[in-house]
């Protein structure tokens, strides 16, 4: 028989204070805007859908005493952990079940969600491929999910009971509540490319794709006084060697401002030649920013245009 670990009094007091800091408190890995594990991302995404960020979140990765202490405090072995009005609710799986059943909404005093199955389209070619795959797994269903950062996933598994089901092309497509709300008007297609074949998803409600902007266009738009926020993602030595006066570096301060940025603020990301900045812009697109540009050719093209 093992003894339960003791929790240091100061750690216990700190945790109790955090739990009482708001009606809804989430202990997670990372932050709601930049989660550092899939379970934390999923839980924060559900809370963001319901509360629009109006809850307290504590990053256990920043404090080892908190990371281990919260497990002892709640007698729950994993992170994330959700508390509502001082009471422990559970981890990701429990919160997900409550969310899909509408129980989490009721606990938060919110209107029970609309569970009407969304209208989605599966092209004949995609339906043929999916049905052939499902035939290998009798009694299993296609599970379709869209994460909080708009990544789509398809899995095969049993029916859990709380999913929302859409009947399409003779198939039952199962979705959680958050996915059902994002999936309205979705089209699932089958495509074959040089990289291989697979399912392709079109989500009308997803944030717009990152657009390209040429160096000449950036120069002209700035000259006209357009409100463009230009962010330089290059390492500091490269910025010093080839400075761009009208940009600001992607440092901790800028990342903090990006978390609170107006979703419709026009932002141009740039790097040396436009490859790294494209990836960074795509990351922030998934965070909900809707007017993002990547500088085509990067600073090298900009220097030639200037």
Residue 151's pLDDT is what? 79
pLDDT range class, residue 49, cuts 50, 70, 90 = confident
Taking residues 139-155, what's their average pLDDT?
86
Considering the segment(s) 9-107 as one domain, its CATH architecture is 3-Layer(aba) Sandwich (3.40)
Give pTM, 2 decimals: 0.64
Reported as type and span, the H/E element at residue 305 is helix 298-305
In the predicted model, is pLDDT for residue 233 greater than 70?
yes
* 3-state class (DSSP) for residue 166: strand
- Percent above pLDDT 90 for the chain: 74
**CATH superfamily membership of 211-305:** Rhodanese-like domain (3.40.250.10)
In the predicted model, is pLDDT for residue 1 greater than 50?
no
- The CA radius of gyration of the chain, in Å to the nearest whole number, is 23
3-state secondary structure 63-113: CHHHHHHHHHHHCCCCCCEEEECCEEEECHHHHHHHHHHCHHHHHCCCCCC
pLDDT range class, residue 25, cuts 50, 70, 90 = very high
Question: Would you list the domain boundaries of the chain?
Answer: 9-107, 121-202, 211-305
* The CATH number of domain 121-202, selected from 3.40.50.1220, 2.60.300.12, 2.60.40.770, 3.30.980.10: 2.60.300.12
Residue for token pair 């491929």: 129
To 10 degrees, what angle do helices 9-19 and 64-74 make? Answer: 80
Q: What is the pLDDT of residues 124-133, one digit of tens each?
A: 999 999 999 9
Taking residues 22-50, what's their average pLDDT?
92
Residue 292's pLDDT is what? 97
Strand 87-90 to strand 81-84: parallel, antiparallel, or no bridges (unpaired)?
antiparallel
Q: Which of 115, 101, 174 is nearest to 141 (CA)?
A: 174
- What average pLDDT does the chain have? 92
């Amino acid at each position: 028989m093992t003894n339960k670990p003791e929790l240091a009094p100061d750690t216990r007091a700190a945790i109790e204070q955090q739990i009482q800091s708001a009606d809804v408190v989430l202990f997670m890995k990372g932050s709601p805007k930049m989660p550092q594990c899939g379970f934390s991302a999923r839980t924060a995404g559900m809370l963001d859908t319901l509360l629009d960020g109006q809850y307290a979140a504590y990053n256990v990765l920043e404090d080892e005493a908190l990371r281990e202490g919260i497990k002892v405090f709640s007698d729950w072995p994993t992170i994330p952990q959700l508390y509502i009005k001082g009471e422990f609710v559970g981890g990701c799986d429990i919160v997900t079940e409550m969310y899909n059943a509408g129980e989490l909404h009721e606990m938060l005093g919110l209107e029970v969600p609309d569970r009407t199955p969304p209208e989605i389209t599966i092209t004949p070619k995609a339906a043929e491929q999916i049905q052939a795959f499902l035939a290998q797994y009798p009694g299993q269903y296609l599970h379709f999910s869209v994460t909080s950062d708009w990544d789509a996933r398809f899995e095969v598994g049993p029916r859990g009971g709380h999913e929302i089901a859409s009947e399409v092309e003779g198939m039952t497509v199962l979705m959680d509540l958050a996915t059902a709300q994002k999936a309205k008007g979705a089209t699932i297609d089958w495509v074959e490319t040089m990289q291989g074949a697979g399912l392709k998803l079109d989500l009308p409600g997803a944030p717009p794709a990152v657009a390209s902007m040429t160096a000449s266009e950036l120069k002209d738009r700035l000259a006209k006084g357009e409100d463009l926020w230009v962010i330089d993602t290059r390492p500091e030595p490269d910025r010093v060697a080839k400075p761009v006066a009208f940009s600001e570096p992607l440092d901790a301060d800028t990342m903090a401002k990006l978390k609170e940025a107006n979703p419709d603020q026009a932002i141009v990301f740039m790097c040396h030649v436009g490859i790294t900045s494209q990836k960074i812009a795509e990351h922030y697109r998934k965070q909900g920013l809707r007017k993002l540009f990547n500088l085509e050719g990067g600073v090298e093209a900009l220097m030639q245009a200037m």
